[in-house]
């Protein structure tokens, strides 16, 4: 792997996200059904099917344009908490790589730091509240550490994926503090958070999409 992500690879990343969400649709809805209204997979799949169509015409544009196209669609179509949070995430990622056709590890760390801050501002959750922030925060911390230690992009993305996975897994033992599931209190222990899980699939796609 080269030491940067090209705009072509960024497009592959988005395609990988769309594929993964489609594949995991039922699983995400089943998870959501345990604690929420059970439509997370359906809504995410519907959203990313449209994202695929919206991104195709900008496939050869810069990384910022590709991610902004994703963010604008997610933000202003699906609604719900997920629209706001994932819309914010992609728009913040995009804003940090405007005009770039190559994104280095340092860029990626800065992009995801901005995304995490955006999610914290709009979602008002803390780590440990059983939300997608539990996936995002450790993954971003891992990326920052890899960047500071000048790791290779390959190593950094592998660590990023692993940290996201562990973060997602951590939600199993947590009590939900935000959103609809928070009304269920201790009944939420033992269940993975659906948002943390879809977020893992998105972050994982950054690692897998680059390999394409």
Partner 1 sequence: MKKFINDPFNLVDEMLDGFLAVHKKKIRKLEDVRSIARTDAPVAGKVGIVSGGGSGHKPAFIGFCGEGMLDAVAVGEIFTSPPPLACYEAVKAANGGKGVLILLGNYAGDVMNFQMSADLSAADGIEVEQVILTDDVASAPKGQENRRRGVSGAFLCWKVAGAKAAAGGSLAECKEVVERVNANTRTIGVALSPCTVPAKGSPTFVLADDEMEYGVGHHGEPGTERIKMMSLDDTVQKMMNEILVDLPFTKGDNVAVVINGLGSTPQIELYAAFRKVKSILDTEKINIENAYVGEFFTGLEMAGFSITLSKLDPEIKSLLDAPASTPCYTC
Question: What residues make contact with partner 1 under the rule CB under 8 A?
Answer: 29, 37-39, 42-43, 46, 75-85, 87, 122-123, 178-180, 182-184
**Which pairs count as long-range contacts for 26-34, CB under 8 Å and 24+ apart, including other chains?**
27/197, 28/194, 28/197, 28/198, 31/191, 31/192, 31/193, 31/194, 31/197, 32/194, 34/191
Report the residue number, 55 or 176, with the smaller CB distance to partner 1. 176
| Residue 38 C-beta: closest distance to partner 1, Å | 5
Report the residue number, 16 or 25, with the smaller CB distance to partner 1. 25
User: Left if phi > 0, otherwise alpha if psi is -120 to 50, otherwise beta: which for 15?
Assistant: alpha
Report the residue number, 123 or 138, with the smaller CB distance to partner 1. 123
| Residue 168 C-beta: closest distance to partner 1, Å | 19
| Residue 88 C-beta: closest distance to partner 1, Å | 8
Three-class SS of residue 144? helix
Q: Which residue has the tokens 């072509």?
A: 8
Report the residue number, 53 or 183, with the smaller CB distance to partner 1. 183
| Residue 42 C-beta: closest distance to partner 1, Å | 5
The beta strand positions in the chain, using DSSP E, are 4-6, 102-104
| Residue 125 C-beta: closest distance to partner 1, Å | 9
**Residues contacting 45, CB < 8 A, separation 6+:** 21, 22, 25
Report the residue number, 183 or 212, with the smaller CB distance to partner 1. 183
């Amino acid at each position: 792997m080269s030491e940067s992500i090209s705009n072509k690879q960024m497009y592959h990343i988005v395609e990988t996200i769309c594929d993964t969400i489609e594949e995991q649709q039922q699983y995400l809805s089943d998870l959501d059904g345990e604690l929420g209204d059970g439509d997370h997979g359906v809504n995410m799949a519907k959203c990313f099917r449209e994202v695929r169509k919206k991104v195709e015409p900008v496939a050869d544009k810069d990384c910022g344009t590709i991610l902004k196209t994703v963010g604008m669609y997610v933000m202003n179509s699906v609604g719900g908490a997920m629209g706001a949070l994932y819309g914010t995430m992609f728009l913040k990622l995009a804003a940090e790589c405007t005009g770039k056709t190559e994104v280095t590890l340092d860029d990626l760390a800065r992009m995801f730091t901005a995304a995490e801050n955006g999610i914290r501002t709009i979602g008002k959750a803390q780590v440990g509240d059983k939300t997608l922030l539990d996936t995002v925060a450790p993954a971003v911390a891992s990326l920052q550490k890899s960047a500071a230690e000048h790791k290779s992009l390959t190593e950094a993305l592998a660590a990023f994926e692993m940290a996201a996975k562990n973060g997602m897994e951590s939600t199993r033992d947590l009590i939900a503090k935000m959103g609809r599931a928070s009304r269920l209190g201790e009944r939420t222990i033992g269940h993975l958070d659906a948002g943390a899980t879809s977020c893992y699939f998105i972050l994982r796609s950054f690692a897998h999409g680059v390999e394409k």
